[in-house]
Amino acid sequence: MSVEDRLGQLNIVLPAPPRPVANYVPACQVGDLLFISGVLPFDNGQLRMKGKLGRELTIQEGYESARLALLNALAIVKQHTGALDRVKRIVRLTGYVASASDFVEQPAVVNGASDLLVELFGDSGRHARLALGAAELPMHAPVELELIVQLHEMN
């Protein structure tokens, strides 16, 4: 089954890809590597949740935020490539989690993105990963993701 079909099966509609509001671009391709700009959990142009893990937000809310941020990253990939089936491999995901003092469950939060990657891409979605705490993130976002993907070569 194609990734686009799996999205439909899961009733997932990709959000509109975030538009950079400064001098950068959503994604930059070098050879078959696509570097995605940092993504936040936007939904219809708004952050769905704000705040820090270990203070305003629960791990489950963080998990959902990571999943939503990942959908923003995939919307960028689709915008860049035309179709998610152009993805050959998810290479690396870094999850920065806005963390109140002593919150150290960053991996459980970033799983929201990792789980969706494997749901959608199967083994090709298994990626190298980092999960880290951040002191502060733009706009009080709970999560920011960095993603590198490998694309199939164009014929």
Q: Which residue in the set 62, 99, 120, 142 belongs to the binding site for a copy of itself (CB under 8 A)? A: 99
Among 32, 48, 59, 85, binds a copy of itself (CB under 8 A): 32
114 near a copy of itself (CB under 8 A)? yes
Min dist CB 82 to a copy of itself, Å, is 18
Nearest residue (CB) to a copy of itself, 84 versus 120: 120
152 touches a copy of itself (CB under 8 A): no
* CA dist., res. 35 & res. 26, Å (int): 9
- For 136: left if phi > 0, alpha if psi spans -120 to 50, otherwise beta; the answer is beta
Q: How far apart are CA 31 and CA 40, in angstroms?
A: 26
Half-sphere exposure of 95 (CA within 13 A, CB side): 30
